[in-house]
Amino acid sequence: MTPNASWIRPEPWGIHVVPSDCWIDPSREVPHALVTHGHADHARGGHGTTTATPETLAIMELRYQTREGAQPVAYGETIRLPGNVDATYLPAGHILGSAQILLEHAGERVIVTGDYKRRPDPTCPPFAVTPCDIFVTEATFGLPVFCHPPIEQEIGKLLKRLADEPERCVLVGAYALGKAQRVIAELRRAGHTAPIYLHGALERMCRLYEEHGIDLGVLRPATGATKEALRGHIVVSPPGALNDRWSRRLPDPITAMASGWMRVRQRARQRNVELPLIISDHADWGELTRTIEEVNPAESWITHGREEALLRWCQLHQRKARALALVGYEDEDD
């Protein structure tokens, strides 16, 4: 049966939960926001109240100094919103604290995923497949060409290169929230116990992860370390520091970048990346289509990326779907 769902309305600046007058991941300031996760295109400061997981609230406090109106919800906990809407935050497997938000009202169930992936990630619990009537899915990598390799393979490439050229260092560009910590945690899982050196812009977020129980091993500041000390080591920086003056202090760095976009050669060339690592915190094409099959909603709403191909896939598979025209969701976090 086609859901009615007139109580949930996609607007260009966010998804409006009408009976509660709440907005999900709004791109403008609102009285009541429900936030899926801490990336800048979803989490913004300045809302009257912000309901999110404790981890996401901690990230928002660190990044945007928001503390007022913070309303924590643990994974699996259901809260009652005004207008008889129940909201449950479920793991999305994207970054620390990331959640899908399940909304229940008038016998209908709507899930807004935010960003998600299905691959294992040592920094957050896995995506929870949950039945619903309407499934609002991201589509960042919504083209069949996007098929992320296993992360073990990419981490293996990195470690091999490090061992092959012990006079140099490997400088890995990784987004400051999520990607950097996942790469470090995966290096530890692969048995790399040596200290990892950090660009100053990553230090506080790595500490926040550690405070939430994610073991990142021995981390040291790259600033102040001598060239000699950095030889044969891994240095992690935000992508913006890869080619700037900051990196000149490093001993002949092998420039690497961890991103789903490294599948696209031109993107790697643009950034002068010598060692592209295809590591993404978003679902690839196979994960997106499998997730729609497993969740099996009456209707899928597609947003946040390449909507067209996924829309066509749904139509070919006799699945009801529509593309939403939300604005302002540009990834800092691929």
Provide the binding-site residues for Zn ion, judged by CB under 5 A. 39, 41, 115, 333
Please tell me the distance from the alpha carbon of residue 101 to that of residue 89, in angstroms, as a whole number: 5
Q: How far is the CB of 45 from Zn ion (least distance, A)?
A: 17
Q: How far is the CB of 204 from Zn ion (least distance, A)?
A: 19
- Nearer to Zn ion by C-beta: 39 or 182? 39
The Cβ of residue 199 has, within 10 Å, a number of other Cβ atoms equal to 23
- Nearer to Zn ion by C-beta: 56 or 255? 56
Q: How far is the CB of 304 from Zn ion (least distance, A)?
A: 6
- Cα distances (Å, whole numbers) of residue 148 to 39, 55, 141, 282, 325: 21, 27, 10, 9, 26
Q: Which of 75, 97, 98 lies closest to 88 in space, CA to CA?
A: 75
- Nearer to Zn ion by C-beta: 255 or 300? 300
- Nearer to Zn ion by C-beta: 43 or 81? 43
Q: How far is the CB of 182 from Zn ion (least distance, A)?
A: 12
Residues 6+ positions from 240 with CB-CB distance below 8 Å: none
Q: How far is the CB of 42 from Zn ion (least distance, A)?
A: 6
Cβ pair 124, 113 in contact under 8 A: no
- Nearer to Zn ion by C-beta: 93 or 276? 93
E runs forming strands in 99-181: 99-105, 108-112, 134-139, 170-173
CA 253 to chain centre: 27
**Three-state DSSP state, 219:** strand
- Nearer to Zn ion by C-beta: 56 or 247? 56
Q: How far is the CB of 157 from Zn ion (least distance, A)?
A: 24
Tokens of 61: 């406090």
Q: What are phi and psi of 73, to 5 degrees?
A: -130, 125
